[in-house]
Amino acid sequence: MKDKNRNKSTSRFDMQFLTSSISTTLVLLLLGLVVFFVLTAHNLSVYVRENISFSVLISDDMKESDILKLQTKLDKQPFVKASEYISKKQALKEQTEAMGTDPEEFLGYNPFTASLEIKLHSDYANSDSIAKIEKMIKKNTNIQDVLYRKDLIDAVNENIRNISLVLLGLAIVLTFISFALINNTIRLAIYSKRFLIHTMKLVGASWSFIRGPFLRKNVWSGVLAAVLADAILIGTAYWAVHYEQELAQVITPEVMLIVCGSVLVFGIVITWLCAYFSMNRYLKMKANTLYYI
């Protein structure tokens, strides 16, 4: 008989622990997705900005050796991420392929100029910085013009700012929601043990002694939930990068490390805090109050 009762008690404990862990896993998964999107949004903004290029049109009077020297000089500047030299012949070839006809055949000359295509580091990919860079480059008398799409750059930066603010607000809201959901899950689990807690008080057990097993149990539940949530997030990220290789520049190992670490910390801290406050609530209650909650 004692063995049967012990088995039933263990079964109830395991089921309660498992149910709590699954509920917490779903909430931590949601929280992890928010952290993931916030971090990848930053990487995506950097990726987009660093792929916006501007063209430096070079006079025909400038020798190719001097152009290459200019390119080397620009590459050493802190704002340049990468540069590409496009000669007159290469420009003509590219435009001929794009238009399907050779402009040189009916014009009698090559209408294109040599140019340098420059990509900037993300911190410099804004209209104000490019305007300063343009003035610096145009000091060279062999530079015909500096071409860039100011409207596109402004639109990209504005959209990135708006998306960042939305994601930040969403992260704050979902953090509170996650805390509330996990808190309710833990409170329900501790609620079923309220009479046991009161009995332990009656036999003289200290509050810290009573809280200990409940705190440890819920922290382990949080750790298990965090590990499960991290496994799902890592698996999803791996599938996404495997499906689209370009995403590797956005979903980096550093991002996943921060996401997994954040989920684990949230899992431990939130479950501990919720269990601590819930335990204190029942520890403060008198016996007659326990029957009316």
For 16-69, write each residue's pLDDT tens digit.
Answer: 667 777 878 888 888 888 888 888 887 888 888 888 788 888 888 888 888 888
pLDDT of residue 291: 61
- Boundary (domain end) residue, out of 148, 170, 186: 148
Q: 109: domain CATH number?
A: 3.30.70.3040
Looking at the structure, tell me whether residues 127 and 230 fall in a common domain: no
Q: Per residue in 190-220, pLDDT tens?
A: 777 777 777 787 777 777 787 888 888 888 8
Instruction: Using the predicted structure, report yes or no on whether residue 13 has a pLDDT greater than 50.
Output: no
Domain membership of residue 247 as a residue range: 2-47+156-292
Looking at the structure, tell me whether residues 165 and 261 fall in a common domain: yes
How many Å apart are CA 112 and CA 104, to the nearest integer? 10
pLDDT of residue 14: 59
Report pTM: 0.68
Looking at the structure, tell me whether residues 207 and 249 fall in a common domain: yes
Average of pLDDT values for 272-281?
83
pLDDT of residue 12: 45
pLDDT of residue 141: 79
Percent of the chain with pLDDT over 70: 91
Looking at the structure, tell me whether residues 134 and 262 fall in a common domain: no
Looking at the structure, tell me whether residues 180 and 279 fall in a common domain: yes
- Boundary (domain end) residue, out of 148, 171, 200: 148
Length of the chain in terms of residues written:
293
- ∠ at Cα 263 (227, 281), nearest 5°? 100
* All residues at 6 or more sequence positions from 157 whose CB lies less than 8 Å from its CB, including other chains: 49, 125, 126
Instruction: Using the predicted structure, report yes or no on whether residue 73 has a pLDDT greater than 80.
Output: yes
Looking at the structure, tell me whether residues 201 and 248 fall in a common domain: yes
Instruction: Using the predicted structure, report yes or no on whether residue 8 has a pLDDT greater than 60.
Output: no
Q: How many domains does the chain have?
A: 2
How many Å apart are CA 278 and CA 182, to the nearest integer? 11
Q: Report residue 10's pLDDT band, with 50, 70 and 90 as the boundaries.
A: very low
